[in-house]
Structure 1
Amino acid sequence: MNHLPRKDHHESGKRPGGTFILAAALWVLLPLLATVSLSGEPKNVAKRYRNEPIRPIPAIVDVDRRKAALGRRLFHDPRLSHDNTVSCARCHPLKRGGTDGLPRSVGIKGTLGDINTPTVLNSSLNIAQFWDGRAATLEEQIDGPVHNPKEMGSNWKEIVSKLSRDKEYHRLFEELYDTGINAANIKDAIATFERTLLTPDSRFDRFLHGDEQAITDDEKKGYLLFKSYGCASCHQGMAVGGNMYEKMGIVQGYFAERGNITRADYGRFNVTGLKEHRFEFKVPGLRNVELTAPYFHDGAVPTLEEAVSKMAYYQLGREIPPRDRDLIVKFLKTLTGRLPETSP
C-alpha cells in the first residue's frame, strides 16, 4: 500500500502543529519511503519526477476477477439493507465519483446519517476506512453500514437468508467459495470489487510519467503552489492523501468558529478515547476531488475553491490570494482519472 505507518502525534509528546511543520519540510522523502502492493506500477517513472510527493496510480490491480464481478453485483444489491431499499451504490454511485453529493447520506426510512460519505474510489489506498479510521480493512468497513440503523439497518443473518433464496447467488458462491454464502464471503467479494475501483491515467499521472503536454502551464503553477504552501505535507502518495491522520483546525479553531459540535466531530477520539485525538480525522485523498463535493467530514463546503481557501486558513493559518487558490484548483482538477465502469 502506498502509505506510511503513522504513530499518533502525541505518542512522541509532540503537538499536532509541530508534526505538521516537520512534515512540510520532509514531504519530498515520503515517496522514497512508500511501498506498493499493487501490480502494474510502472518500472521506469520519469527520473525528474521520482522524488515528487505524488505517485501515479497503477493501471492494473491483481484480484480474482470472478470474485470482483460477484462483488460488483452485491455492491448494487439493495437486499443488503433491512427494507431492501439501500445498496452500497446508493451512497457510493460510481458515475458520480463514488459518493452521492450530499452533506450527509440518507439511509433506510429516509434517515439522515451523521457524517459526509467519503468516496469509495481508490479506497483500497487508504491507511484505514471511515473518517475516524475505525476499520482497518475494506472487509471490516462493510460491517459498519450494514449494521448502522441510519444506513442499511440490517445484520448478516438476515442478509445471508435473503441471498440464499436467490438461485444465481447460490450458484456463484458455490463456484467461488468452499463455504458458500456467508458473511465472510459476502464481505470478501465486495471488498475484492472495491479494490478494482482505482482511477489511473489522470492527466497528472501522465505528467508524472513524463508527458509535459498532459497539463497546462497554469496547472503546473498550481502544483508548485500546492507544494510550496505545504498542502503536500498531508496530501501525498498515490491517493494524494488517505495515509495519515491530522487535526481539523491545526492553526485556527475550525469547530470553535463553526459551533454546534456533534459526536462525529470528535473523529479519532471516538475510536481511541484519547483526549489528544479529539478533532483528528483521516486526511482525505484528493483523487477525483472535483467530483466529490461537498467537502470535509461535515459536508459543509460546497465548492473546491472554498475548500482550498478554508484549508489554507484553518490548517496553515494563511489567507490564500484568489489567484493562487484558482491555480491550485486547476491543478487539483488534473487528478481526475479514468473512472470505473458504472453498470452493475
Structure 2
Amino acid sequence: MKKIVFILTLASLISCQNKEVKYEEINIVSKTPLMIEASDYFKPISMVSSDNIPDNFQELNNPVNITSVKFENRLNEKELLGQKLYYDKRLSKNGTISCNSCHNLDTYGVDNSSFSLGDTKEFGGRNSPSSIYAALHFKQFWDGRAKDVEEQAGMPILNPVEHGIPSQEFLVNRLRRIEEYQQFFKKVFPNDNQPITYSNLTNAIGAFERKLMPESRFDRWLDGDDDALDTNEKAGLQSFINNGCIACHSGVAIGGQMMQKFGVYGNYWEHTKSKKIDNGLHDITKNESDKFVFKAPSLRNIEKTYPYFHDGSVKDLSEAVKIMGKLQSNKDLSDTEVKNIVAFLKTLTAEVDPKFKKADL
C-alpha cells in the first residue's frame, strides 16, 4: 500500500539574490498493522546489513558488499572461482560428487533426500541443509560445529563418508596440477606466493555462497507491497506469530540464529517416527542439557527443501508444521491454522539467479 506525497525541497542555497523552489515526488510506504507487527520479528533481504546479520558475515579477509546483496547479480573473480569449485567433482576423492551434489542449486540448495550419498556410496548421518541463505546463519551444520560458511565448506571435503578427500594436502596438490586453477587462483589471490591453498579454496566457496540471497514474495511484502501476499497467507503469518513460531524462526533468515531442543514438550521421535534417535549437540559437548539440541533451521524455501528435520524423517510440510506446533509450543494446531501457516511458508520460496546455477564453467 503506497501513497504519493509532494514535498517542497530547496534546490539551491537560499541567498538574497535568488531562491529556487521545486516540487519533488516521493513514494512513501503506508504500512498495515500486520506489516508493523511483522517488522518486529522479520527483516527483508533488502535490509540485510551488519546490524541484523551475524558478525562473521563480513570477515576482514573475505569482504562482500552486503548492502547490495539484493541488487547486485554479478559475480566478482573470487565468487566466480567459488562457483567453479562448488560444482567441481574433483573436490571428492573418486570424482563422483561436488558441493552441488548435496546442495543442488537447481533444487533450492538441497537434494531432497533424507540422507545424502557420499563419494564412497555411503549415506551421511544427517539431512543436508540448504546452502541458500546459509551465510545468514549464526553457525553452520545441525550441531553448529562450524562458525561460518568458509569453515563449513572445508569440512565435508575431508569427511570420509562425504567427499572422502584424505587430507588438505591431497586436494591442494591435486588442484595445483590443474593449469586452469593455477591461473584462476593467482588472479584472485595475487599477493600470495602460493595462491592454491586450502584456506583460499574455502574462502572462495564461502564468497560464492554469500551471493545466494534471492528475494521472495514475503520480502516484497515486508518492503511494503501489501498485494504480494493474499488473505490466506496473511492469516498464516498471523497464526505463525500468535503460536510462537517466531521464538525460533525470525530475523532475515527466519531462523538459523539459535540452538534449540527438538522436543520441548515431548520426544521428537514419537512424532516424527525417526528410525534413529540422534542426540544432536550432545554428541559434541557430552553435556546432558545438550541432548536433542539442534540449530533451529531457516524456513526460507521450506516448501522446496523437504524432507524435514535433522534426519529428513517427514516429507509433508503440513505434517511438519503440526509436529512443530505440538513439540515446540505444546499446541494442537487446527486444520485451518496449519493450512494458512503452510500458505504463508510458501511465500518464502525464492529462485536463485540462473547465472549462479551454471555448471558448465
Name the TM-score class by shorter chain. Answer: 0.7 to 0.9
CA shift for structure 1 position 47: 5.7
Structure 1 residue 332 and structure 2 residue 345: aligned? yes
Structure 1 residue 52 and structure 2 residue 52: aligned? no
CA shift for structure 1 position 237: 0.4
The within-5 A match list for 1:71-220 is 71-154=82-165, 155-177=167-189, 178=192, 179-200=194-215, 202-220=216-234
Q: 1:311 aligns with which of 324, 337, 341?
A: 324
Answer whether contact 1:45 1:208 (CA < 8 A) is retained. Answer: no
| Aligned mates of 2:203, 2:279 — CA distance in 1 | 30
Answer whether contact 2:149 2:206 (CA < 8 A) is retained. Answer: yes
Q: 2:336 aligns with which of 319, 323, 328?
A: 323
Q: Which amino acid aligns with 1:151?
A: E
Higher mean C-alpha deviation, range 63-72 or range 106-115: 63-72
The within-5 A match list for 1:258-269 is 258=273, 260-262=275-277, 265-269=278-282
CA shift for structure 1 position 143: 2.6
Q: 1:252 aligns with which of 266, 272, 278?
A: 266
Give the SS at the match of 1:291.
Answer: coil
Q: What do the CA deviations read for 1:41-77 (whole angstroms, capped 9, x no partner)?
A: xxx9866545331110138338971100000000000
| Aligned mates of 2:274, 2:251 — CA distance in 1 | 33
The structure richer in strand per residue is 2
Structure 1 residue 294 and structure 2 residue 307: aligned? yes
CA shift for structure 1 position 325: 0.3
1:283 aligns to what?
A: 296
| Aligned mates of 2:237, 2:199 — CA distance in 1 | 42
Change in 2 beyond 3 A, CA 1:184/1:301: same
| Aligned mates of 2:152, 2:266 — CA distance in 1 | 32
Structure 1 residue 223 and structure 2 residue 223: aligned? no
Give the SS at the match of 1:71.
Answer: helix
CA shift for structure 1 position 314: 1.2
Q: Which amino acid aligns with 2:131?
A: V
Answer whether contact 2:176 2:196 (CA < 8 A) is retained. Answer: yes
CA shift for structure 1 position 203: 0.9
| Aligned mates of 1:164, 1:45 — CA distance in 2 | 54
Which consecutive unaligned segments of at least 5 residues does structure 1 have? 1-43
Give the SS at the match of 2:347.
Answer: helix
CA shift for structure 1 position 147: 1.3
Answer whether contact 2:262 2:327 (CA < 8 A) is retained. Answer: yes
Q: What do the CA deviations read for 1:217-268 (whole angstroms, capped 9, x no partner)?
A: 1100010000011111110001100001110000121135646544xx1111
Q: 1:233 aligns with which of 247, 260, 265?
A: 247
| Aligned mates of 2:81, 2:171 — CA distance in 1 | 15
CA shift for structure 1 position 298: 0.7
1:25 aligns to what?
A: none
Answer whether contact 1:46 1:209 (CA < 8 A) is retained. Answer: no
Answer whether contact 1:64 1:192 (CA < 8 A) is retained. Answer: no
| Aligned mates of 1:45, 1:114 — CA distance in 2 | 47
If asked which structure has higher relative contact order (CA below 8 Å, sep 6+), I would say: 1
| Aligned mates of 2:30, 2:206 — CA distance in 1 | 32
Q: Which amino acid aligns with 2:260?
A: E
RMSD of the alignment, in Å?
Answer: 1.9
Fraction of identical pairs, as percent: 39
Answer whether contact 1:94 1:340 (CA < 8 A) is retained. Answer: no
Give the SS at the match of 2:123.
Answer: coil
The structure richer in helix per residue is 1
1:66 aligns to what?
A: 77
CA shift for structure 1 position 338: 3.7
Which consecutive unaligned segments of at least 5 residues does structure 2 have? 1-27, 47-66
Answer whether contact 2:261 2:292 (CA < 8 A) is retained. Answer: yes
Larger Rg: 2
Answer whether contact 2:274 2:313 (CA < 8 A) is retained. Answer: no
CA shift for structure 1 position 159: 1.1
| Aligned mates of 1:338, 1:143 — CA distance in 2 | 26
Answer whether contact 1:198 1:340 (CA < 8 A) is retained. Answer: no
Answer whether contact 1:81 1:87 (CA < 8 A) is retained. Answer: yes
| Aligned mates of 2:300, 2:274 — CA distance in 1 | 29
